[in-house]
Amino acid sequence: MKKILALTSIRSDYDLMSGVYQLLHAESEIDLQFLVSGAHLCATFGHTVDLIKKDGFRILIEIESLIHSDTQKARLKTASILLQNAIDAVSIWQPDMIIYAGDREDVLIGAMLGAFLQIPTIHFFGGDHEKDGHVDTLIRHASSKLSTFHVVSIEQHRQRLIKMGEPVERILVAGSIALDKFVRHNDTVAITPSDVFPPEKKLEGYAMVIYHPIEENHRTDQAGTVFETLLLTLKKMGIPAIISYPNSDPGNQFIIEKIHQHEQDPQFWFYTNLERETFLSLYKQARFLIGNSSSGILEAASLPLAVVNVGLRQQGRFCAGNVVFCGNSAAEIETAINSVMTPEFQKTMTEIKNPYGDGHSCKKVVEFIKATDFRALLKKTDDPLEMI
């Protein structure tokens, strides 16, 4: 029996990995268990540990690590709490492998646990790069250097890891495993939006808004201002919207304050969490996606769905032609929205293919995990000076 420990701290990374988790869970020779922490255990962000339990997964330990004080210091303290409380649990269970995804601080903790406890690790979604100057890109690259193996989405990400000194035999290009959920989703039972939205809301022809805080000019308080500018621009243009709560990054409280100010508006509907099938159905039926979520970069092209990416977040990431980047001002946002709604832009959408894959990656990854002796790769003795 191969014991695999999955680390997850927030709904977004759990959803990205859900297809792989489901396939691993179905394997009789694999004991998949979870270390759950961070925003999963916070009511403000939907207490999404309940989704993990509903999906039938076993949880090894829940660690209440999130310091919800909305600062960068809090992120660092949150990471320290997670590390302190995870060491003994992981050491005692002694998994054969630890897996984690992305660029949040808990990923760095997972990589450190594997390196110091001599447990093979797999980092998913490494090799990506954003030019917004945010610390998450540094965490992603640092986690890659600490990890035993990498599952990446595209060849560009593989090449970036090689440039960082990672040998080719430690990297699998599998396509984005996040896309498999679109293939699995059953369009024949698409959810009617009117069955989901409160009756007092007027949301016909809605846009979907996913906007997360980002530190700009060493300030996080601007997140609420940009978020409200986005909402008011949509309102001015007569476009209703369904809007997610932000993630737990610093600045989230400024966004949540704006949500409370606008939650009675009949043209806006805010949600903290949606069932996966409901979310995918509403996502597919949206007029366009606007905000700064990685979903616009990685997933929307699979439909394809037009995307307006507001501000610095996601800048520099490889994407398809369905994405239009714009600044934070009302004028720039309005111009970008108008551009994606033109007949000319919509016509180009018919020719778009998602560069991140075709939605058949998870099975490939799981078969590779089953067939590979990762412990043989545990010691990273590779010298970048000796690599060609």
Q: What is the pLDDT of residue 72?
A: 85
Same domain, 189 and 170: no
Same domain, 331 and 375: no
Q: What is the DSSP string of 78-140?
A: HHHHHHHHHHHHHHHH--SEEEEESSSHHHHHHHHHHHHHT--EEEESTT---SS--HHHHHH
Segments of the chain scoring below 50 in pLDDT: none
User: Residue 51's domain spans which residues?
Assistant: 2-175+361-386
Q: What's the CA gap between 259 and 262, in Å, rounded?
A: 5
Same domain, 88 and 213: no
Contacts of 338 (CB under 8 A, 6+ apart): none
Same domain, 339 and 220: yes
Same domain, 269 and 380: no
Q: What is the pLDDT of residue 216?
A: 66
* 87: exposed, middle or buried (Cβ count in 10 Å: 0-12, 13-18, 19+): middle
Same domain, 201 and 302: yes
Q: What is the pLDDT of residue 243?
A: 98
Q: What is the pTM of this model?
A: 0.88
Same domain, 81 and 153: yes
Q: What is the pLDDT of residue 220?
A: 66
Structure tokens at 248: 């737990």
Q: What's the CA gap between 79 and 58, in Å, rounded?
A: 23
How many CA atoms, within 13 angstroms, populate the side-chain half-sphere of residue 342?
A: 10
Q: Does residue 199 have a cis peptide bond before it, meaning omega lies within 30 degrees of 0?
A: no
